[in-house]
């Protein structure tokens, strides 16, 4: 079970600025819980971001990306109202996709 | 004691507001200001706000009811501005309540949850997973962001809570003979690089109170005021501060009232 | 690296089709794609040089055309903001590396045409360490670095 991402995509001039917060544990596999048991690694490995079906960014992450990751970037060639989609997949095969309209 | 931190064992001091605003001169010298500035407005607490909003409107609990009729002090269902005016006296329960005890009351009253069950998981697992209750707090607090703190003191109960809170703040106890005041009643104190606000002054109380609840970077979780107070008690080596107890609410009343007039900046982001 | 990138793009479009046509059940097969594409060699490399090798590079040239913004002191190593901007022509990928982490590579970003060679992210840094911005362009690899000091917090959780 995963929680929705918080995505903002704002057009300013001819550039869209994307800011995204993703709810994810990003467990390194090195951390022990309070009982002293090693918590298994659980982290996002792939992130793909598309606008109008076209890739505007693709990323690969390791476990050292922070818990509840934040990502920002800029791209051009999109208009207000067009949809931006972010999809992640993690090392346990879980995945999630969320979409926002560019404002 | 579950999440007792080793690095804290040496420093028997309590850090209330890690992010006390500093004067212009101090800000230049503050080596952490660049870090805090870079984290800026992009606060993962937003993830909890969305969750809390969904929990507020979703039929839940044995009665499959929502919380939209919950009275947070400004009338049934009014969320906006409510947190900036809490704690306050509720005639229906005959007690002064803070946001958290009020939410618990509403979850019991409308949704039929058992109080003990809510309290058992009030801080999630206490470590890396926070609770539904905390997400609800995130939602309600955010609806007051930008508003001025205006905690009322119109009833004798509210006045009594304030003086009781003040007494607890200065009360020395425990194996280390500590009180809240030991660390938080003088200016310009700090632990390592973190400034300690003087919570007895309006400036100090305002800086601290208006930046809690917060997203706690060290845990990657959203944490509430009762959590913060509980952690202060733990750091003072005092017994657990009971969630929603008259003592917890009195202490909150003392701090919140001292912060009156300041603009609420919570949820903040803290180390 | 080129192959990886094409695959990623293909994955992107495949996923978006699935988004529209199917529910979450289909996504469970996603793990196969992740393990197929994710650069295991680069992410298991311990040293900065090994990461470069895993990306098919032999030498990364220090460049002042890459701006790496990190805080001088991080109040908590669990969340360290990193901003990287490349002014190098035809920047194709931006990588974030931390010298002293158990595995040096933190994140890689493929920059398609139309996207600025600019990335902001937040990473974990175990202890005071150099952070590297490694950039791949059509003319090879370029690199810049900065030290981040990680402090212990004042107190408690």
Tell me the pLDDT tens digit for each residue of B65-105.
Answer: 999 999 999 999 999 999 999 999 999 899 999 999 999 99
Specify if C139 maps to a domain.
yes
Specify if C3 maps to a domain.
yes
Q: Region B246-252: what's the mean pLDDT? A: 96
d(CA C75, CA C116): 29
**Cβ contact, residue pair A61, C101, below 8 Å:** no
**Cβ contact, residue pair C115, A60, below 8 Å:** no
Q: Which of A92-101, B125-134, B156-165 has the lowest mean pLDDT?
A: B125-134
| B15 three-state secondary structure | coil
- Is the pLDDT confidence value at B29 over 80? no
Specify if A1 maps to a domain.
no
Closest chain B residue to C120, measured at CA: B38
**Cβ contact, residue pair B11, C73, below 8 Å:** no
- Is the pLDDT confidence value at B230 over 50? yes
- Is the pLDDT confidence value at C136 over 50? yes
d(CA A48, CA A68): 17
Q: Which of A46-60, B124-138, C102-116 has the lowest mean pLDDT?
A: B124-138
**Given pLDDT bands bounded at 50, 70 and 90, which one contains residue C156?**
very low
- Do residues C84 and C134 share a domain? yes
- Is the pLDDT confidence value at A38 over 80? yes
- Among C12, C108, C124, the residue with its CB nearest the CB of A50 is C12
- Is the pLDDT confidence value at C8 over 60? no
d(CA A44, CA C97): 17
CB A33 within 8 A of CB A20: no
- Is the pLDDT confidence value at B6 over 50? no
pLDDT at A54: 93
Helical residues (DSSP H) of B58-131, grouped into ranges: 99-111, 115-120
Mean pLDDT of chain A: 95
- Do residues C33 and C48 share a domain? no
Domains in chain C, number: 2
pLDDT at B33: 83
Phi, psi of B86 (to 5 degrees): -120, 150
In order, the DSSP letters of C51-113 are HHHHTT-S-EEE-TTEEEE--SEES-TTSEEEEEEE-STTEEEEEEEETTSSSSEEEEEE--T
- Is the pLDDT confidence value at B120 over 50? yes
Q: Region C133-149: what's the mean pLDDT? A: 97
**Cβ contact, residue pair A68, B3, below 8 Å:** no
The answer, for C110 touching chain A at a CB cutoff of 8 Å, is: yes
- Is the pLDDT confidence value at C11 over 60? no
Specify if C155 maps to a domain.
no
Q: Region C51-55: what's the mean pLDDT? A: 96
**Cβ contact, residue pair A6, B50, below 8 Å:** yes
Q: Which of A61-65, B22-26, B109-113, B246-250 has the lowest mean pLDDT?
A: B22-26
pLDDT at C33: 64
CA-CA distances (angstroms) from residue B54 to B61, B234, C80?
Answer: 14, 32, 30
* Cis before B87 (ω within 30): yes
Domains in chain A, number: 1
pLDDT at B266: 92
Q: What global pTM score does this model have?
A: 0.84
CB A43 within 8 A of CB A26: yes
Residue A42's CATH number: 2.60.40.10
Residues from chain A contacting residue B50 (CB–CB below 8 Å): 3-4, 6
Contacts of C96 (CB under 8 A, 6+ apart): C82, C84, C105, C106, C107, C108, C119, C121, C123, C131, C132, C133, C134
d(CA B68, CA C99): 51
Between CA B54 and CA B56, with CA B55 as vertex, the angle to 5 degrees is 90
Query: Looking at the annotation, which residues of B are catalytic?
Result: 232
pLDDT at B23: 46
pLDDT at B35: 87
pLDDT at A1: 67
d(CA B220, CA B214): 10
Q: Region C65-81: what's the mean pLDDT? A: 94
- Is the pLDDT confidence value at A66 over 90? yes
- Do residues C13 and C68 share a domain? no
Chain B residues with CB under 8 Å of a chain A CB are 2-3, 42, 44, 46-47, 50-51, 126-128, 220
Q: For residue A62, give how far its alpha carbon lies from the nearest alpha carbon of chain B (Å).
A: 17
Produce one character per residue of B121-149: b if its CB has 16 or more CB atoms within 10 Å, e if not.
Answer: ebbbebebebbbbbbbbbbbbbbbbeeeb
CB-count burial class (<10 Å; 0-12, 13-18, 19+) for B75: exposed
Residue-wise pLDDT for B172-221, tens only, equals 999 999 999 999 999 988 887 778 899 999 999 999 999 999 999 988 99
pLDDT at B129: 80
Please give the radius of gyration of chain A, using alpha carbons only, rounded to the nearest integer.
15
Task: State what percent of residues in chain B have pLDDT above 70.
Answer: 89
CATH code of the region B17-270: 1.10.760.10
Closest chain A residue to C121, measured at CA: A71
- Do residues C14 and C75 share a domain? no
Contacts of B203 (CB under 8 A, 6+ apart): none
Q: Would you tell me how many other CB atoms lie within 10 Å of the CB of residue C20?
A: 6
- Is the pLDDT confidence value at B143 over 70? yes
CB-count burial class (<10 Å; 0-12, 13-18, 19+) for B120: exposed
Within 178-197 of B, beta carbons closer than 8 Å to C belong to 190-194, 196
d(CA A48, CA B214): 30
- Do residues C124 and C48 share a domain? yes
CB B72 within 8 A of CB B81: no
Specify if C58 maps to a domain.
yes
- Is the pLDDT confidence value at B3 over 50? no
Q: Which of B93-97, B240-244, C35-39 has the lowest mean pLDDT?
A: C35-39
Task: State what percent of residues in chain C have pLDDT above 70.
Answer: 74
**Given pLDDT bands bounded at 50, 70 and 90, which one contains residue B19?**
very low
Please give the radius of gyration of chain C, using alpha carbons only, rounded to the nearest integer.
17
Please give the radius of gyration of chain B, using alpha carbons only, rounded to the nearest integer.
18
pLDDT at B193: 74
Residues from chain C contacting residue A85 (CB–CB below 8 Å): 16, 19
- Do residues C63 and C82 share a domain? yes
Residue C146's CATH number: 2.60.40.2470
- Is the pLDDT confidence value at C4 over 50? no
Contacts of C56 (CB under 8 A, 6+ apart): C1
Residues from chain C contacting residue A41 (CB–CB below 8 Å): none
How many CA atoms, within 13 angstroms, populate the side-chain half-sphere of residue B132? Answer: 17
Q: Which domain holds residue C145?
A: 44-150
pLDDT at C34: 67
- Do residues C57 and C19 share a domain? no
- Do residues C31 and C67 share a domain? no
Specify if A13 maps to a domain.
yes
- Is the pLDDT confidence value at C22 over 60? no
Residue-wise pLDDT for C95-126, tens only, equals 999 999 999 999 999 999 999 999 999 999 99
Domain-wise residue ranges, chain B: 17-270
pLDDT at B235: 87
Residues from chain A contacting residue B47 (CB–CB below 8 Å): 3-6, 21, 23, 68
Complex prediction ipTM = 0.95
Q: For chain B, give me the number of helices (H) and strands (E)?
A: 12, 7
- Do residues C34 and C88 share a domain? no
Q: Choose among B223, A87, B79, B218: nearest CA to C12.
A: A87
Mean pLDDT of chain C: 83
- Do residues C69 and C121 share a domain? yes
d(CA B235, CA B8): 8
- Do residues C136 and C69 share a domain? yes
């Amino acid at each position: 079970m995963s929680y929705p991402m918080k995505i903002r995509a704002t057009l300013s001039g001819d550039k869209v600025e994307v800011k995204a917060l993703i709810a994810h544990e990003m467990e390194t596999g090195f951390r022990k819980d309070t009982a002293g048991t090693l918590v298994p690694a659980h982290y996002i490995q792939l992130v793909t971001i598309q606008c109008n079906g076209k890739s505007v960014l693709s990323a690969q992450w390791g476990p050292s990306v922070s818990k509840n990751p934040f990502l920002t970037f800029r791209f051009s060639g999109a208009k207000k109202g067009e949809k931006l989609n972010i999809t992640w997949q993690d090392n346990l095969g879980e995945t999630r996709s969320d979409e926002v309209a560019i404002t | 004691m579950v999440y007792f931190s080793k690095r804290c064992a040496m420093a028997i001091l309590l850090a209330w507001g890690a992010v006390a605003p500093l004067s212009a001169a101090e800000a230049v010298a503050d080596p952490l200001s660049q870090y805090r500035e870079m984290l800026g407005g992009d606060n993962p607490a937003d993830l909890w706000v969305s969750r809390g909003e969904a929990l507020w409107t979703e039929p839940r609990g044995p009665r499959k009811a929502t919380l939209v009729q919950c009275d947070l002090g400004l009338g049934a269902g009014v969320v906006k501005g409510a947190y900036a005016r809490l704690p306050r006296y509720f005639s229906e329960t005959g007690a002064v309540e803070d946001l958290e005890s009020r939410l618990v009351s509403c979850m019991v009253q409308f949704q039929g949850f058992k109080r003990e069950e809510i309290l058992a998981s009030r801080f999630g697992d206490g470590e890396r997973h926070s609770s539904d209750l905390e997400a609800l707090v995130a939602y309600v607090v955010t609806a007051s962001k930008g508003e001025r703190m205006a905690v009322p003191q119109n009833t004798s109960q509210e006045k009594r809570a304030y003086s009781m809170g003040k007494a607890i703040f200065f009360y020395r106890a425990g194996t280390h003979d500590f009180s809240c005041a030991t660390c938080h009643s003088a200016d310009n104190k700090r632990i390592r690089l973190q400034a300690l606000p003087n919570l007895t002054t309006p400036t100090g109380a305002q800086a601290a109170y208006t930046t809690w609840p917060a997203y706690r970077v060290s845990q990657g979780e959203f944490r509430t005021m009762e959590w913060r107070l509980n952690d202060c008690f733990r750091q003072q080596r005092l017994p657990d501060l009971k969630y929603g107890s008259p003592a917890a609410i009195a202490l909150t009343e003392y701090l919140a009232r001292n912060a009156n007039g300041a603009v609420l900046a919570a949820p903040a982001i803290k180390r | 690296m080129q192959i990886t990138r094409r695959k990623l793009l293909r994955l992107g479009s495949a996923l978006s089709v699935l988004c529209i046509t199917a529910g979450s059940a289909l996504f469970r097969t996603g793990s196969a794609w992740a393990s197929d594409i994710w650069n295991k060699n680069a992410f298991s490399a311990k040293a900065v040089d090994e990461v470069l090798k895993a990306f098919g590079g032999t030498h990364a040239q220090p460049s002042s055309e890459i701006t790496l913004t990190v805080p001088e002191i991080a109040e908590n190593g669990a969340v360290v903001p990193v901003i990287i901007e490349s002014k190098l022509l035809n920047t194709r990928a931006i990588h974030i590396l931390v010298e002293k982490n158990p595995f040096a590579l933190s994140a890689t970003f493929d920059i398609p045409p139309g996207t600025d060679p600019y990335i902001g992210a937040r990473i974990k840094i175990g202890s005071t360490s150099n952070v590297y911005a490694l950039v791949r362009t059509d003319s090879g690899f370029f690199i810049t670095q900065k030290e981040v000091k990680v402090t212990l917090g004042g107190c408690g959780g």
